[in-house]
Every structure is written in C-alpha cells, then in structure tokens.
Amino acid sequence: MDYIKIRFCNDLSDRDSQFGKSLEEMFRSISPVFTLSECSWKPQMDIYETPEEIYILAELSGVSKDDLDIEINSKAIRIQGFRRPIPRVENANYRLAEIQYGRFERVLFLPVPIDTEKVAASFQNGLLTIRLAKQPRDRVRKIPISDD
C-alpha cells in the first residue's frame, strides 16, 4: 500500500515572505519571462463538506506523489509540492506556454475544527483527495453529585 506523507503540527506560519510572493505575482502578470528563479503556481482546489467531514480535492496533474507534502492541525491544512519542468523542444518557436511548474503551496483555513487523528489522503490520476473528519461538537453531559 502506498502512503502520502501527512505531518501534524501546531503552527502553519508562512515560510516565504508575502512580499516576495507579491513581487513574483506582479511581474508574472506582466510576462511569464519575469519570474523568480523557481516558478510558483497555485493548483486548483475544491473544498466541500458533509455533516461529518470536510473534503479537499486538488488538481495536480504532472505532479508525482513523492513530491507532495501535507501538514495539518485542527484549524488549517498546508498542501505543498513540486511539479518538475517539462522538457522543451530545441529549435521550436513556442506560440503558447501556459503550463506552470516548480514549487507550489496552498494553506487552507478550515471552516470548523477537525479531528487530526481521522485524516485520509489518496492520489489517483493527478487528483489529490483529502478527507477530514470534523471534531464532534461539545456535548453536554450531566455530572453526578456525591453525598460527601
């Protein structure tokens, strides 16, 4: 059975400065030539929930499962990885080059706390599926009073 790495942590602080990411996005919007040394991209994702679970679907075609990393706590999830560059054809004039590659990272804040002990992830045909069990709501319970 193959496994996807999931790390449990308490802090999901940004490793990269927001300034660097903003600069890269600004220059990339002008032209794809103006990117930092390692291109970053944001894969498309869907999040939906049922009464018991939250589901995350990430479209990651061309990404190897070995290049994926998932970190989670009760409030947020970080999905990061790397898509390797596609070999370019020599002596070809590219008329369109939209496929992005390089490092990616998405931090998703969850709408409700989740039980980090009940997490499952699968990766098939370029689609990452993560199932997160919601933490049960606080239950009211009656406390017996002793005669002491």
Write the DSSP symbol of residue 85.
P
70 in a domain, yes or no?
yes
What's the pTM value of the predicted model, to 2 decimals? 0.68
- Residue at 122 is within a domain: yes
Q: How many domains does the chain fold into? A: 1
Report yes or no: 135 and 114 within 8 Å, Cβ to Cβ: yes
Q: Are strands 6-8 and 68-72 parallel, antiparallel or unpaired?
A: parallel
Tell me the residue range of the domain where 66 lies.
Answer: 16-85+100-134
In a domain, 9, yes or no: no
pLDDT in tens, 84-109: 988 888 999 888 888 899 999 999 99
Q: Is residue 147 included in any domain, yes or no?
A: no
What phi and psi, each to the nearest 5 degrees, are found at residue 53? -140, 160
In a domain, 7, yes or no: no
Residue 4 in domain: no
Kindly report the CATH number assigned to the domain that includes residue 51.
Answer: 2.60.40.790
Pick the closest to residue 132 from 144, 109, 116, 145 (CA basis): 116
User: In sequence order, which ranges of 12-54 are alpha helices (DSSP H)?
Assistant: 18-30
13-26 residues labelled b (16+ CB within 10 A) or e (exposed): eeeeeeeeeeebee
Asked if residue 126 is part of any domain, the answer here is yes
Residue 27 scores a pLDDT above 70 = no
* Residues 39-73: tens digit of each pLDDT: 478 999 999 999 999 999 999 999 999 999 999 99
Nearest of 121, 140, 25 to residue 71 by alpha carbon? 121
Residue 142 lies in a domain: no
